[in-house]
Amino acid sequence: MLLGAHCSTAGGVACALERAVRIGAECCQLFVKNNMQWFARPLREEELRAYREARHQAGLGCVFGHAGYLINLAAPPSPNRDKSLRSLVQEVERAEALDLPFLVVHPGAHLGAGVETGLARVAEALDEVIAATPGCRVRLALENTAGQGTCLGAELWHLTELYQRVRHPERLAICLDTAHLWGAGYDIRRPDGWARVWEELEGGVGLDQLVAFHLNDSKASLGSRVDRHEHIGRGRLGLEAFRLLLADPRFAALPGCLETPKSDDLHEDRENLAVLRALSAPERGARDRRTGGAVRKRESRARLERRRAQ
């Protein structure tokens, strides 16, 4: 798997790629505009030139986008729905200008209307966004959720349902978040937990629709429907879930990005990536005592925390 992280675009979109290089990433996720604002001014040509140059120099295997958090595709007819659709259309257009292959987007929250109504609204919204961006190659990668509040997407069949309802499913894709799977009740610490995920996806949209992973441990309990990310090996998931995923050859070419807490110097990203790489190549961890020791300490801490939680 290509390992990387979500990187800030503070200072310009090209800066996200420079930060990815600083942490030794092989892939990068970024926001195509401020994630807490509805709209943004158009990208200037000098920004695009700087981005293209940074992209060339970075040599990353994959760069992709994530949609803003204000967008709710399951909203009822309202000014909020209108802004959500206009905002996502703009983000797709910006992603196209940045030559990103896909844009990760949450299905949305039904706000008490119920799952069936919510899914119908999301499908209609996706149809409108796709119709408004003809000719764009950018796919909308639906992300599974922990199911907090009235958020859709905790059950993987929700994503399958959206594929079946939209008029152009070829414009869709899937992004899986490990912490969200755990919060939704998938015990991916175990091989049979991952097998359940793959069976549901294969029986629904097909594993070929999977384009990215979010690699996050979780502070929340299994099935809690709570979304709280934690550093790799320090949460309730522990390390085994990531070891199992990274050992699966079917996903060796896909990007896996951290969305874990970080400080300005980004040392947490470097540490988390070192842990993931040690898990994916145990012999490398054996050669590097410092990394190997860190992994063993996290494994011991994770086992202790799981026993306390039981």
With 0-12 CB in 10 A as exposed, 13-18 as middle and 19+ as buried, what is 46?
Answer: exposed
Query: Is residue 46 a known part of a binding site?
Result: no
Nearest to 74 by CA among 20, 41, 114, 18: 114
Between helices 289-309 and 267-280, what is the axis angle to 10°?
A: 90
Query: Is residue 267 a known part of a binding site?
Result: no
Is residue 214 within 8 A of residue 197, CB to CB? The reply is: no
Query: Is residue 229 a known part of a binding site?
Result: yes
Pairwise CA distance, residues 33 & 79, whole Å: 20
Contact residues for 252 (Cβ-Cβ < 8 A; gap 6+): 1
Is residue 189 within 8 A of residue 243, CB to CB? The reply is: no
Query: Is residue 106 a known part of a binding site?
Result: yes
Query: Is residue 180 a known part of a binding site?
Result: yes
Nearest 5°: the CA angle 256, 260, 263 is 125
Which parts are annotated binding residues for Zn(2+)?
Answer: 66, 106, 143, 177, 180, 214, 227, 229, 259
Which parts are annotated binding residues?
Answer: 66, 106, 143, 177, 180, 214, 227, 229, 259
